[in-house]
Amino acid sequence: MYDDYPSYSTIKQKWVDTIPSHWNVKRLKAIFAMRKERNNPVITDNILSLTAKQGVIPYAKKEGTGGNKPKSDLTQYNIAHKNDLLVNCMNVVSGAAGVSRYFGAISPVYYALYPHDDNNVWYYHYIFRLMTFQRSLIGLGKGILMHESESGTLTSVRMRISMDYLGNVLLPIPPRSEQDQIVKFLNWKISRINKLISIKQMQIKELEEQEKKIISETVLHGLHNSALKDSGNRWIGDIPSDWSLIKLGRFCSFQNGISESGVFFTSGTPFVSYGDVYRHLELPETVSGVARSNEQQQKTFSVRKGDIFFYPDIRKYRGSWHGDCL
């Protein structure tokens, strides 16, 4: 994919074995200084948030409800300058690092780093985004470990890495001109990839709308261009003239699930939980719940092939129907 360099040097780090021989290697503390400015007295009320997904953004633009809430006392924050590399010492192993495009107030758990010399901070931003680099930091942390998601990212991380340990991590130092070239290439390449992702997401959305339309047209009007009549039902609308309406209870029976206390669902036989129905259009092959059911309950509440599940609150309706159920 890329041309090889004339020669390479071995550095034997957990996340990288070799680098081009004309690059240098230094500890992070020799490349970056840690900014130690307090927001006391209050200089700014622009509170910044750092996430692995969004990078550094004003707190008001943060997606989701996770993480700590802003402090009312702004003097408890530190200061970050534009182009500082912010590192969340509690979540850096899951990718919580990024360059700030803003001047603002930051949590004390964020390290605000700025280069000692003429180095491109965005080059090191990309290093902190490397999953192999993030994994190499795990042994430096203290606290709660994590689990790995299907995408390979680490979640449920509260593993604090002190600046003393982080500062001793070895990092490569390409010549500044090469740093700039690398950053320019990655910015261009990632921009192209993101545009392709946006196009694919739009196509997926259009296909999903087309799917809904096809299902609606076919279920309510059939496969042939038949004459239509008013069904008399507002949500159904017109139906083929030779069709009729009957109440749901005429051709199926209803059965509620087991209603017991929480301890009932801690062990036992497989159990279709609320989450299995609410989160999926079709039931997963392996359901998430278990229940201490007796023989009579298993007979009464067992799921059979072709059963339809639905959540009774129509405002939050998610139905699930499945060919092969447990």
Q: What percent of the chain has pLDDT over 70?
A: 87
pLDDT at residue 317, as a whole number: 46
C-alpha dihedral sign at 307, 308, 309, 311: negative
With cut-offs at 50, 70 and 90, classify the pLDDT of residue 321: very low
Burial of residue 203 (number of CB atoms within 10 Å: 0-12, 13-18, 19+):
exposed
- Phi and psi at residue 34, to the nearest 5°: -95, 125
Are 87 and 110 in contact, with CB atoms under 8 Å apart? yes
Are 62 and 49 in contact, with CB atoms under 8 Å apart? yes
Across 184-200, b (16+ Cβ under 10 Å) vs e yields eeeeeeeeeeeeeeeee
What pLDDT digit, counting tens, does each position of 237-271 carry? 899 999 988 888 887 888 777 777 777 777 788 88
pLDDT at residue 326, as a whole number: 30
pLDDT at residue 320, as a whole number: 46
pLDDT at residue 283, as a whole number: 76
User: Which is more confidently placed, 278 or 195?
Assistant: 195
With cut-offs at 50, 70 and 90, classify the pLDDT of residue 280: confident
The residue written with tokens 């799917």 in the block is 211
pLDDT at 322 > cutoff 50: no
Q: Rounded to whole angstroms, how far apart are CA atoms 90 and 87? A: 9
pLDDT at residue 29, as a whole number: 96
Residues forming beta bridges with residue 87, ordered by sequence position:
97, 111
pLDDT at 178 > cutoff 70: yes
pLDDT at residue 254, as a whole number: 81
Mean pLDDT over 177-183 rounds to 97
Query: How far is CA 152 from its chain centroid?
Result: 11
User: Please, how many CA atoms are within 13 Å of residue 72, restricted to the half-sphere of its CB?
Assistant: 0
What domains can be seen in the chain, in order of their start residue? Answer: 8-174 (3.90.220.20), 261-321 (no CATH)
Look at strands 97-99 and 85-88 and give their pairing: antiparallel
User: Which is more confidently placed, 191 or 11?
Assistant: 191
Nearest to 25 by CA among 183, 169, 182: 169
* 41 cis-preceded (ω within 30 degrees of 0): yes
pLDDT at residue 147, as a whole number: 53
Q: Rounded to whole angstroms, how far apart are CA atoms 27 and 180? A: 20
Q: Is the pTM of this model over 0.75?
A: no
pLDDT at residue 79, as a whole number: 97
What pLDDT digit, counting tens, does each position of 139-175 carry? 887 765 555 555 555 554 567 899 999 999 999 999 9
pLDDT at residue 140, as a whole number: 87
What pLDDT digit, counting tens, does each position of 48-98 carry? 999 888 899 998 877 655 556 777 889 999 999 999 999 999 888 888 999
With cut-offs at 50, 70 and 90, classify the pLDDT of residue 213: very high
